[in-house]
Amino acid sequence: MKLRKVTATSAVVLALAVSATACGGGKKDDGASGGGKKITIGIKFDQPGLGQKTPQGYAGFDVDVATYIAGKLGYKPDQIEWKESKSADRETMLQRGDVDFIAATYSITPERQQKVDFAGPYLLAHQDVLVRADDSSVKAPSDLNKKKLCSVTGSTSAQNVKDKLAPKAQLQVYPTYSACLTGLQSKAIDALTTDDSILAGYAAQAQFKGKFKLGGLKMTNENYGIGVKKGSDLKGKIDKALGDMVADKSWQKAVDKNFGPAGYKNEPAPAIGDIKS
């Protein structure tokens, strides 16, 4: 009996030791040191050209930027766990530690900087309009007056044009950007407005190639940054990685690959910390 009791106790100790080792070995690295088991990155899943989940995997400019950064932090592509980061959830995801960083058309604003830190910016975008390729009537924001302007549910871009720049624009709200594009193609609407980088991504899709063009109005400045948890030392490491990406031409290659088909006239890569108001 005594021998069996000792054996049972030993088995319990051994099981606890194995469990502790397994938990320790499988813990997700915080991304600060690199070389861990994996890194979790937030992106958009529904923005062609920027962040999109496809049957073949994940694609877009934000995905390319995030993959490059992860590489500089010591992670291979197969060590990246992609997580959908919807606009309304981004700050909460970072604060809770659901992701190590977010690259998801994340404009740097004073309000957001109160809650999270930003590396970058890595892209300077502008609010613009998308019109049909044969439409030459929109050369300034005021030309949108009396035009049928499309926005998506929850977007402020079209409302901004209506309130400040073209108050007589006829605002129509569609559920998705794809629906707006279909309406633009059928002439149910005259223009779609949001960030030019997002518009370029949608217009570059194969089914829309050559059918639309960007207005080039540059109505606002949108400084896209990489969001990290407040106080994280990842900020400095990501800033360095972004600098390397520009220096070795990988940044421009990613722009050309993801936005080129739409004729997107991108701004030069912004200097780290240079936030255009």
> For residue 103, what pLDDT band results from cuts at 50, 70 and 90?
very high
State the first-to-last Cα distance of the chain, in angstroms, to the nearest integer.
Answer: 79
Domain positions in the chain are: 39-124+223-262, 126-214
> For residue 138, what pLDDT band results from cuts at 50, 70 and 90?
very high
Q: What is the pLDDT of residues 51-62, one digit of tens each?
A: 999 999 999 999
**Whole-number Å distance between alpha carbons of 173 and 33:** 45
At residue 276, φ and ψ (nearest 5 deg) are: -80, 130
Name the residue among 222, 163, 219 with its Cα closest to residue 193: 219
SS3 121: strand
Query: What is the Rg, in whole angstroms, of the alpha carbon atoms belonging to the chain?
Result: 23
Instruction: Record the pTM.
Output: 0.80
**Whole-number Å distance between alpha carbons of 109 and 223:** 8
Q: What is the pLDDT of residues 145-198, one digit of tens each?
A: 989 999 887 677 877 888 888 899 999 988 888 889 999 999 999 999 999 999
> For residue 259, what pLDDT band results from cuts at 50, 70 and 90?
confident
Class of domain 39-124+223-262 (CATH, top level): alpha beta
CATH topology for the 126-214 domain: D-Maltodextrin-Binding Protein; domain 2 (3.40.190)
